Amino acid sequence: MFQAFLIKYGEIGIKGKNRYLFEDALVHQIKLALQPVEGNFVISTERGRVYVEAKGAFDYDDAVLALSRVFGIIAICPMWQVELTDYPHIEQAVIDYMDEVYPDKNKSFKVFTKRADKEFPMNSQEINVALGDAILDAYPEMHVDVHNPEISLNVELRTKLNIYSESIPGPGGMPVGTAGKAMLLLSGGIDSPVAGYMIAKRGVVIEAVYFHAPPYTSERAKQKVIDLAKIVARYSGPIRLHIVNFTDIQLYIYDCCPHDELTIIMRRYMMRIAEHFAKQDACLGLITGESIGQVASQTMKSLAATNEVCTMPVYRPLIAFDKNDIVSIAERIDTFETSILPYEDCCTIFVAKHPVTKPNVGAIKRSEKKLDEKIDEMVETAVSTAEILEIEADRLV
């Protein structure tokens, strides 16, 4: 029924040169998103507009699903796009459109004409009136409602004639690739995939790092993180995932440091290693799924102690979110079911019964001194043996 889409995006704050950067990134992301969709698509821009046109047969539902995941898109309007000639042709196209798109004619409508082509012999208001009359003549069950129409029929005279009336919401945000790159600390939990999604939504390309502790953590726990990265990649685009073997470092900390400080010290090493990869890959910040007070390692004092080792900004988009709100997002973006699979993660295996909730940075640093002998070498080994995977979204679901 539809061969084309009008893609609407938010224009606030994106004027001049920035608009082209924004549009180019949006077009690029749309192309990537449509790659797995059956069909042949041509994407074009026209004065603040992006159009997607299908050449020949295509999978409409998959195309809409793919587009609804592209950050930067506010709305997706399935559209008829035909040659713009004279008024009788416009009228015929509109009559055909209403018939095909609305088999049930018992509906109210209002026509909104926009005329970019000021040469056209009728003005917008004249076209509105003429088309309104023509629709009423063709379909007497329809009626006009200028205040609250069920069908807002847009008729645009631009390079071509655009007709559309339906609008499917997009995710909003900014196209990925407009805001640099950041490194996500991705665990198998509920929070970090959501944190990655939220930062990617602001236009940031994300990479990820996962720390595992074989044989204490299983292959399945690792596969779960890969699966989560695949789901986040549906929105963010491909994610370069670094998988770090953290076992020796964890055991060494366990042997040398007070057990109530284990989690904090371990988290400080995670941040240091994540930052190493971040710098190597030109990332501008780190991302975590932390939220104030959620667990002992996320009190403000614990966050301060963890943060103290970082020289890059650490973005914590969930910092003020309640768990319920995080869960709602996880459900909406489809990471929740995977996140709650009950595989052990490396934080829970070495966890102390009574972890410090108000760590003192001085004391933590003194404890870390006890690691001096081997820790640098261990960090180097962990970094150099990391497995690097390029994770792509696997399918349209």
Give the binding site for Mg ion (CB under 5 A): 187, 189
Residue with tokens 């409508």: 109
Q: Is 189 in the site for ligand ATP (CB under 6 A)?
A: yes
For ligand ATP, the binding residue among 164, 211, 277, 350 (CB under 6 A) is: 211
Q: How many residues does the chain have?
A: 397
How far is Cα of residue 362 from the mean position of the Cα atoms in its chain? 39
Least gap, CB of 253 to ligand ATP (angstroms): 14
| Residue range at the interface with ligand ATP (CB under 6 A); choices 32-40, 277-285, 295-303, 386-394 | 295-303
Residue 185 contact among ligand ATP, Mg ion, none, beta carbon within 5 to 8 Å by kind: ligand ATP
Q: Is 381 in the site for ligand ATP (CB under 6 A)?
A: no
Contact 145, 110 (CB under 8 A): yes
Contact 51, 81 (CB under 8 A): yes
Strands 168-169 and 73-82, bridge-based pairing? antiparallel
Least gap, CB of 38 to Mg ion (angstroms): 38
Which residue lies nearest Mg ion, judged by its C-beta? 189
Q: Residues 6 or more apart from 89 whose CB is under 8 A from it?
A: 82, 83, 161
Residue 232 contact among ligand ATP, Mg ion, none, beta carbon within 5 to 8 Å by kind: none
47 burial (CB, 10 Å; 0-12 / 13-18 / 19+) is exposed
Least gap, CB of 346 to Mg ion (angstroms): 9
Which 3 state secondary structure label does DSSP give 293?
Answer: coil
Q: Is 261 in the site for ligand ATP (CB under 6 A)?
A: no
Residue 156 contact among ligand ATP, Mg ion, none, beta carbon within 5 to 8 Å by kind: none
Q: Is 295 in the site for ligand ATP (CB under 6 A)?
A: yes
**193: preceding bond cis by omega (within 30 degrees):** no
| Residue range at the interface with ligand ATP (CB under 6 A); choices 73-81, 123-131, 179-187, 276-284 | 179-187
DSSP letter for each residue of 216-244: TS-HHHHHHHHHHHHHHHHHH--EEEEEE
Give the residue with the Cβ less far from ligand ATP, 191 or 275. Answer: 191
How far is Cα of residue 126 from the mean position of the Cα atoms in its chain? 43
Which backbone phi and psi does 182 adopt, to 5 degrees?
A: -140, 160
Give the residue with the Cβ less far from ligand ATP, 154 or 302. Answer: 302
Q: How far apart are CA 52 and CA 55, in angstroms?
A: 10
Stretch 338-367: interaction string toward ligand ATP, x if CB under 6 A? -------xxx--------------------
* 3-state SS, one letter per residue, for 103-167: CCCCCEEEEEEEECCCCCCCCHHHHHHHHHHHHHHHCCCCEECCCCCCEEEEEEECCCEEEECCC
Give the residue with the Cβ less far from Mg ion, 66 or 195. Answer: 195
For ligand ATP, the binding residue among 187, 236, 307, 338 (CB under 6 A) is: 187
Least gap, CB of 251 to Mg ion (angstroms): 19
Which residue lies nearest ligand ATP, judged by its C-beta? 189
Residue 290 contact among Mg ion, ligand ATP, none, beta carbon within 5 to 8 Å by kind: ligand ATP
Residue 302 contact among Mg ion, ligand ATP, none, beta carbon within 5 to 8 Å by kind: none
Residue 162 contact among Mg ion, ligand ATP, none, beta carbon within 5 to 8 Å by kind: none
For ligand ATP, the binding residue among 192, 247, 250, 307 (CB under 6 A) is: 192
Give the residue with the Cβ less far from ligand ATP, 63 or 241. Answer: 241
For ligand ATP, the binding residue among 45, 152, 167, 294 (CB under 6 A) is: 294
Q: Which residues pair with 54 in a beta bridge?
A: 41
Q: Which residues pair with 79 in a beta bridge?
A: 4, 164
Residue 237 contact among Mg ion, ligand ATP, none, beta carbon within 5 to 8 Å by kind: none
Q: How far is CA 289 from CA 168, 318, 320, 350, in A?
A: 30, 6, 11, 20
User: Where along the sequence are the contacts to ligand ATP (CB under 6 A)?
Assistant: 185-187, 189-192, 209-211, 270, 288-290, 294-295, 297-298, 345-347
